[in-house]
Structure 1
Amino acid sequence: MKELTIGRNDAGQRLDRFLAKAVPLLPASLAQKYIRLKRIKCNNARAQRDTRLQEGDVLQLYINDEFFDKPSEANAYLTVTAPKLNIVYEDENILLVDKKPGVAVHPHDGAEYGRTLIDHIQAYLYAKGEWRPREEQAFTPALCNRIDRNTGGIVIAAKTAEALRILNQKIRDRELDKRYLAVVEGTPRPETGVLKGYLFKDAVKNRVFVTDTPQKGAKTCETRYRTLTKRGGLSLVECELITGRTHQIRAQFAHAGHPLLGDGKYGKLDPHADRRYQALYSYRLTFCFTTDAGVLAPLNGRSFQVADVEFVKTYFPDFRLPGIAE
């Protein structure tokens, strides 16, 4: 419990408005709940959110110490009172979340605190009592892979330090199989094959370029694909990254003459509808461990898939994604 004494400059304010300034990490909805539950009192008596504070009043705040920290990227999860997650799978070690397009996985320049995927994951685990930051020496639940803001799909979060260490190693050793769905313009020829090229990044323009011949600073890039169905001048393709380069699928298909639908950076905006995001989704994940996986060994051989993909239903309404046999 902490006590705050109201000084001359704070007198006359409503209780809820004072709390928003004095305890900025405490969300307004949670502050109201705590007032209702008498975990926030004024002069040891029940108060209301619109109580006018007087000089000399003493507030009793029965709330966790975390809320009294200064706002930062490390404690942005505290501003999330109702975590919004599409959970694909969860156990005591990991969490698989279906990230929707438009959601950033991490904050950028501190402008999105409380609205990113990692904020909601940490808030979810904090609310469940599975993560107690005041009791941890260093570990914080973390993401093992990233997906661009405007791309959707499965993101892996480690709930323990051991799981994080193992998953990072498995990803480096390519012992996870990730499959993507994309809608491209036209029909790739052949309908099943491998796109090969050389990719280099222009940091100033924040985009990549693909060439057919080696270039200074360029890295090889390969994407295996197969066409699943076609309709209305569009093709639904499944992609597997043989190499994992920035914007690889988007840039390689654009270079091949089949840009992704809605991709304004590497192709052109969707001519069929007002799409806000490129039609690209990391829809399936399979654990393919070839070496010891420790506590994650029970996941070996298992596949996980998102429930649905919006652009598949929109552009290929008669197509059904194959399910996963457990």
Structure 2
Amino acid sequence: MKEIKIGKNVAGKRLDSFLKGYLPGASGGFIYKMLRKKNITLNGRKADGTEKLSENDLIKIFFSDETFAKFKGNSDGIKNAGSVDKEIDLSKYGDVKVVYEDDNIILASKPVGLLSQKSSPKDISLNDWLIDYLLSEKSEATKDLDVYKPSICNRLDRNTGGIVICAKSLPGAREMNNLLKSRNLDKYYRTIVSGNLTESIYLKGFLYKDEKKNKVFIKKNDPKDERYSYIETQIVPVKYNKDADLTMLEVKLITGKPHQIRAHLSSIGHPLIGDVKYGGKVYKKVNHQLLFCYRICFPDDMPDEFENIRGREFKTDLPDVYNRFFE
């Protein structure tokens, strides 16, 4: 018999939804059958699966060890997460820097080259680092790994560095995803482009991503094509290198679409240096686009559970290469 005590990372889920995730090898029909036969109970009573789970609820699963192992499969969060004994090797990328951490979130500065999420099983990603970090810190978040796995909330391209929001808890994931979806979270990037930009610009347009080419295309006017998404990008010049004809920019993403900053700046004749895909110049020792999310700002109207970050701004240092062009 297996007992599961519900924590805050599962509270609010329907019982049947939780069981389908917890026992991935079992069909929905099998789960409902086990509920009817009271082989699975909720707080010592028969349940039909529609119940909403609350913190401290107790689920009991009356399976033999063999049956439980069959339906549980290799879904144990700790087994899949890696372990402290076998640390993830990030040496070829550089260290991930923790900019801020509380009970719900971590703001992690991702180095260039590291994937935000795996694209194949062999990949190492920021998600892998997150679980490894929580285990090494003996974080409270690891107590629920069997039923909830912490994960990143937003992504950066492999060759874009900077702050990524990671959720340690389900409430954290829900609140951060709501902020991202409603565009109430301000994200600022620094980049270096060819040419001289002297005034702030507010760009609008329509973006389409060709998945096969992994490249986006932008039109200034509405193409009346459902494949295109509306985009907005705010650009502010920071400093200019006259000899090299390069401008450092601060860019605020109003909408967040793949390659948006890179393609939008290229579309007005100012591609990012190092960004060969969108027409950027190549410089010695710069083998990727210079784009870095260095600052994020949280809104003032966040719930009490997130008072630690309410209205606050968080920054991380730019890599040295950004300043080298302006020394």
Equivalent of 2:220 in 209, 212, 215: 212
Partner of 1:306: 316
Report whether the alignment pairs 1:77 with 2:89.
no
The code of the aligned residue for 1:98 comes to S
Report whether the alignment pairs 1:279 with 2:287.
no
State the alpha-carbon separation in 2 of the partners of residues 182 and 111 from structure 1.
31
Matches within 5 A, 1:233-312: 233-270=245-282, 272-290=283-301, 292-312=302-322
Equivalent of 1:152 in 137, 157, 161: 161
SS of 1:191's equivalent in the other structure is coil
Distance apart, 1:298 and its partner CA:
2.4
Q: Which runs of 5+ in 2 are unaligned?
A: 1-73
- Percent identity of equivalent pairs: 33
Equivalent of 2:139 in 127, 130, 133: 130
Residues 183 and 254 of structure 2 are in contact (CA less than 8 Å); yes or no, is this contact kept in structure 1? no
Distance apart, 1:274 and its partner CA:
3.1
Distance apart, 1:70 and its partner CA:
9.3
Residues 77 and 147 of structure 2 are in contact (CA less than 8 Å); yes or no, is this contact kept in structure 1? no
Aligned pairs, how many? 245
Report whether the alignment pairs 1:108 with 2:113.
no
Matches within 5 A, 1:62-73: none
CA gap of 1:108–1:236, structure 2 versus 1, over 3 A, is same
State the alpha-carbon separation in 1 of the partners of residues 81 and 139 from structure 2.
17
Residues 234 and 253 of structure 2 are in contact (CA less than 8 Å); yes or no, is this contact kept in structure 1? yes
Residues 272 and 281 of structure 2 are in contact (CA less than 8 Å); yes or no, is this contact kept in structure 1? no
Partner of 1:170: 179
Partner of 1:228: 238
The code of the aligned residue for 1:307 comes to D
Residues 141 and 169 of structure 2 are in contact (CA less than 8 Å); yes or no, is this contact kept in structure 1? no
Distance apart, 1:71 and its partner CA:
11
Matches within 5 A, 1:18-33: none
Residues 205 and 232 of structure 2 are in contact (CA less than 8 Å); yes or no, is this contact kept in structure 1? yes
Partner of 1:54: none
**Larger gyration radius, structure 1 or structure 2:** 1
Q: TM-score, normalised by structure 2?
A: 0.69
CA gap of 1:136–1:182, structure 2 versus 1, over 3 A, is closer
SS of 1:166's equivalent in the other structure is helix
Tell me the alpha carbon deviations over residues 90-114 of structure 1, each in whole angstroms, 9 at most, x when there is no partner: 12221111111111111112121xx
State the alpha-carbon separation in 1 of the partners of residues 129 and 248 from structure 2.
31
Distance apart, 1:259 and its partner CA:
0.3
Distance apart, 1:268 and its partner CA:
3.2
CA gap of 1:176–1:129, structure 2 versus 1, over 3 A, is same
SS of 1:223's equivalent in the other structure is strand
Residues 106 and 118 of structure 1 are in contact (CA less than 8 Å); yes or no, is this contact kept in structure 2? yes
Tell me the alpha carbon deviations over residues 186-242 of structure 1, each in whole angstroms, 9 at most, x when there is no partner: 013x52111222211111211100112222122222111110100020000001112
SS of 2:82's equivalent in the other structure is helix
Tell me the alpha carbon deviations over residues 29-68 of structure 1, each in whole angstroms, 9 at most, x when there is no partner: xxxxxxxxxxxxxxxxxxxxxxxxxxxxxxxxxxxxxxxx
Distance apart, 1:73 and its partner CA:
11
State the alpha-carbon separation in 2 of the partners of residues 132 and 280 from structure 1.
31
- CA RMSD in angstroms comes to 2.5
